[in-house]
Structure 1
Amino acid sequence: MLRHIVFGIAASKNFWESRKEYIKIWWQPGQMRGFVWLDEPVNEPRSSASSLPIIKISANTSNFPYTHKHGSRSALRISRIVAETVRLNLADVRWFVMGDDDTVFIPDNLIRVLNKFDHRQPYYIGSQSESHLQNIIFSYAMAYGGGGFAISRPLAISLAQMQDRCIHRYPALYGSDDRIQACMAELGVPLTRHPGFHQFDVYGDLLGLLAAHPIAPLVTLHHLDLVEAIFPNSRSRAEAMNRLFNGPVRLDSAGVMQQSICYDVKRHWTVSVSWGFVVQVVRGVMSPREMEMPARTFLNWYRRADYKAYAFNTRPVARNPCQKPFLYYLSSSSFTNSSGMTVTRYSRYMEQRHPICRWKLPDPAVLVNEVVVFKRPDPSIWDRAPRRNCCRVISSSKAGNKKAMTLEVGVCRDGEIAGAR
C-alpha cells in the first residue's frame, strides 16, 4: 500500500524549476507521503506546492570530510536523506524509497515489487547501471540512486543509527549511492537487484532499451534530461512522460512497456509490441531470442558506440538494411467497458527514413499507417511466474485510405509460442 511508503527525493535549488515537472507526473497528493530534500530554500507557489511532496532543507554537512577531486560535496547531504527521513519518526512506514528529482516512479509497480518482500527484514532493493564501466568504477553491488532504491524500515533505522560515523570513514568516495552501499556493506546487507529500476546511464534514444524491457514491472526511469523524449513527436520530455502516464499507466500499469512478439506469416513480417509505447514491424523473420535483446539506439555513458560497454547483451539496430524496423508510436489509448479491453493505437513515425530494400517482401510503410492493439488489463500478471505475453495478428485491413494492422496481446494459451509458423 502507498501509505506504507515514504519517499525521499534528492533535489537542488539550481534545477528545481524544471525538474519539479517530472515529480508532478507521478506524485499523487493525499495518497503518498514523502519529502523533497533541497540544498537551499525555494519560493514555491501555493498552487504548485499542493501537487508536490513536502519540501525540506537538508542538514549542514560541512563537518564531514570529502576528498574526491572530481565530485561534489552535495553527495554527503544526499546520502543522508534516508537517515534524515527516518528521524522524522513517521508512523506506519514499511519502506523508505529514494530517488532523484529527475526520477519518475510507476507507483503501482513499485508496490507490486515491494510486496514480494518481508518489510520486517533488512532489505536494500534497487539496480545497477547500464554502463559496464560505471559498475566497475563504483560497484556492481550498489543500487544507483537516481534509478531509485528501497530500504526496509528496520534496515533504514540501523542505517540512521550508524551512518554519520560510517560517512567519516569514506571521504574519498564520489557519490551518495556509493556511500550508502559502503554503509550497507558494514551492516552486512547485500543489494537485492530488481531490473525494473532504471538508472539509464546512456545518451540518445531509449527506444532499444524500452522496446525490449525485461520481463519485470517497470518501476522507475531516470536521467530524463539527458536522453531524448520517449515519444519523438512530443513538445518536451515531460509532455512525453505525461502521455505515458495519462494513458497506459492509468489503464494497465502492470503491463506498461512489456514486450510481446509475433509474426504476420503471410507477409513475412516480425512484429514486436512494447505495450503502451511502440510497435515495431520488421521485414523478414527475426527470432524472439534476437528481438528480446535491446537494439543499440543509444550511446553509453562515455558517449561511445561500443557494444562492449554495457552490462547486458545488445544488438545492432539492423543486421541488414532491409531489417531496419518500422516504428509506430503510441497515439491514443482507451478502455472499452463492453469488452473489458484496452485499445491502444500506434501511428507510424513519418520522419523515419529507410534505406532502399531489394527484398521482394511487402513494405510496411505502404501497407500500414496505424497499428491497433487490444489487451485485457492484467493487474495480477506479476503474481505469477514471469512470462512474456503472447501477441496475435488478428487482421491487416484497409478502411478507406487508412491502413491498419490489428493485434491482440494477452496471456499465452496452452501450447502457444512466439515462433514464426
Structure 2
Amino acid sequence: MGSVKTWPHRRGYIESWWRPNKTRGYLYLDKPPTPNILPWPQTSPPYRIVDNLSELFRYTKPRIELMPRMVHGILEVFREEHENMRWLVMGDDDSIFFVDNIADVLAGYDHTKYYYLGWHSESVVPNLWFSFDQAFGGGGIVLSFPLARALVRDMDGCLLRYAGSSSADLITMTCIADIGVNLTPHKGMHQVDLRGDFSGYLSAHPKAPLMTFHHFDAMDPIFPSKDRFESTRHLMKAADADQSRLLQQTICYHRRGNWSISVSWGYSAHVYENILPRSYLQVPIETFRPSAKGPKPPFFMFNTRPRSSDPCEAPHVFFFESIYRSISDDGFITNYVRATPRGLPACSATGNHSADHISKIQVFSPAKKRLQMDRSECCDIVGLADSKADIKFRECGIDEIIA
C-alpha cells in the first residue's frame, strides 16, 4: 500500500527488492499518479488505484476514511489475481521484503490451511494502543489462500462492523478473529517501531529468517557514511547472495587472546576483549529508543543490554563492506571493516590483549542455504595476522557449547 505523495521518495525502497517479471504483485495508490511520476517505471510493481468505498459507507461513516480502504486492498488484490495463489503478502511502500526467505519460510506451512502470519511492534506502547495479538502491517501481513478468500467474502460486513476502529491492522486482525483464526507470530517480520541507531538490534537479530523491515525512513541509516537508500542497496548485496544467513548471529572465540567475535552475517561484526557466552551476546545492545515511550519500563518487547564504556564489555564494531564468491571452495567471502576506533584501553581483566590493531574481518561461509534454523552455526578463527582476522563458518558439533 502506498500513496502518490510518498511514492517519489519511497520508490527506491520498493525497487531494492522487487524483481520485474518474477515477483507477482501490485502497488495500490490512494489516487491516480500525477504527471510528474509518469510514465510508470518498469522496475517497479504495476500500480492500481484503491476502490472508492463511499457507497459502502453511505450510512455508517468510518472513524478514519483511509483505514477501511487499506483493508479493502486485500479484496482488490484477490480480485485482480487469485489463480494459483497460495499466499497473499501485504506491506507498506516503505517496507522491504526479503523474497527468498519469505518463500522458504512459507514453504514450511500448509497453504491449504488457515494462516495469518506477522509480528507485533518491538515497542510496548504501540501494542498497548492497538493489540498484542495483531500483525503490524508495515512489518508485513501474510494470509494463506483459504483465509484470504474467507476474508474477501466477509469484507463488506467486516468493514461495517469495525468502522469505528482507528487502525487498518486492528480491523484486519478483528475480522480474521471473527473467521476463527489467530495470529501465527514470526520473529523475522519487523515493524521497526524503534528510532535512532538500529545497529544494536541488527547485530543480534532473533534466530529466525529475516522476512521484512519497515520504517527505514524513521531511523538512522544502518550503515555509516551511507544514506538510507544506499544502505538498503548495500544490505541487498548480501541478501542477493544468501538470504538464509542474512543477519544471523554466529559466535566464535580466540581463546589465547580472550576474544569473543560475534558476526551478524551481511551486516556487522563485533570483537569483545573477553570470553562472553552466547546467552549474553544474543541480547541486543540498546543503541536505539522506542517509537513511543511509556512513563516507566519496560519499553521494548525484548531484552536489551545497555551501551558500556567498560573495555571488557564494549565491542570493537565492524560493518559489512563487500561480498564475493570464493574461488577456492564453494562459498562466499564477506568483508567487514572497522567503523571507528573504540577509544578505550585494553581489557586488563583478561590480559590486556587489545584488538585495536584489527581493521578488517573476513568471513568464509558455505554457499548452501541454511533452511534448518533449530540451531545457530558455529565458527572458527582460522587466521589472525597483522590487521585482519579470518573466520570460517561451520555447523556446530553435537555437544558444542558456545561459551
TM-score range with shorter-chain normalisation? over 0.9
Q: Say whether residues 1:270 and 2:260 are aligned partners.
A: yes
Residue 296 (structure 1) aligned to one of 278, 281, 286: 286
2:298 partner SS: helix
Deviation at 1:89, TM superposition (A): 4.2
Deviation at 1:149, TM superposition (A): 1.4
Q: Say whether residues 1:112 and 2:100 are aligned partners.
A: no
Contact 1:280 1:328 (8 Å CA) reproduced: yes
Deviation at 1:415, TM superposition (A): 3.0
Structure-to-structure mapping, 1:134-213, within 5 angstroms: 134-213=126-205
Deviation at 1:346, TM superposition (A): 0.5
2:221 maps to what in 1? 229
Tell me which amino acid in the other structure corresponds to 2:19: Q
Deviation at 1:35, TM superposition (A): 0.6
2:304 partner SS: coil
Q: Say whether residues 1:219 and 2:211 are aligned partners.
A: yes
The CA deviation string for residues 33-88 of structure 1, in whole angstroms up to 9 with x for no partner, is 11100001114344x620111100001133435565xxx43222111111111112
1:283 maps to what in 2? 273
Q: Which runs of 5+ in 1 are unaligned?
A: 1-9
Deviation at 1:313, TM superposition (A): 1.3
Give the distance between the partners of 1:206 and 1:291, measured in 2 at CA: 16
Q: Which runs of 5+ in 2 are unaligned?
A: none
Give the distance between the partners of 2:150 and 2:380, measured in 1 at CA: 50
Contact 2:309 2:344 (8 Å CA) reproduced: no
Q: Percent identity?
A: 33
Give the distance between the partners of 1:81 and 1:239, measured in 2 at CA: 30
Deviation at 1:320, TM superposition (A): 2.9
Give the distance between the partners of 1:319 and 1:186, measured in 2 at CA: 51
Distance 1:305 1:223, change over 3 A: farther
Deviation at 1:171, TM superposition (A): 2.5
1:416 maps to what in 2? 400
Distance 1:390 1:227, change over 3 A: same
2:363 partner SS: strand
More displaced 10-residue stretch of structure 1: 210-219 or 59-68: 59-68
2:337 partner SS: strand
Residue 3 (structure 2) aligned to one of 3, 12, 27: 12
More displaced 10-residue stretch of structure 1: 202-211 or 106-115: 202-211
Distance 1:305 1:418, change over 3 A: farther
Q: CA RMSD in A?
A: 1.9
Contact 1:345 1:372 (8 Å CA) reproduced: yes
Give the distance between the partners of 1:305 and 1:219, measured in 2 at CA: 32
Deviation at 1:337, TM superposition (A): 3.8
1:28 maps to what in 2? 19
Contact 1:299 1:305 (8 Å CA) reproduced: no
Give the distance between the partners of 2:92 and 2:244, measured in 1 at CA: 23
Deviation at 1:364, TM superposition (A): 1.7
TM-score if structure 2 supplies the norm length? Answer: 0.93
Residue 232 (structure 2) aligned to one of 241, 250, 253: 241
The aligned length equals 396
Give the distance between the partners of 1:123 and 1:252, measured in 2 at CA: 27
